[in-house]
Amino acid sequence: MTIAYVRVSTNKQETDSQKIEIERYCLCHDIKIDKMLSVEISSTKSQEKRKITELKDMLNSGDTLITTELSRLGRDMLEILHFILELDKKGVKIIFIRQMILSNGESSSKLILAIYAYIAEEERKLIVMRTKAGLEKARERGKKLGRPFNALNSYYDKDIKKIKSLLKQNIGGSFISKCKF
* Catalytic positions, written as ranges: 9
Sequence-distant (6+) residues with CB within 8 A of 1 are 34, 35, 58, 59, 60, 63, 64
> How far apart are the C-alpha atoms of 38 and 58, rounded to whole Å?
14
Count CA within 13 A, CB hemisphere, residue 80: 26
Sign of the Cα torsion 22, 27, 31, 34 reads positive
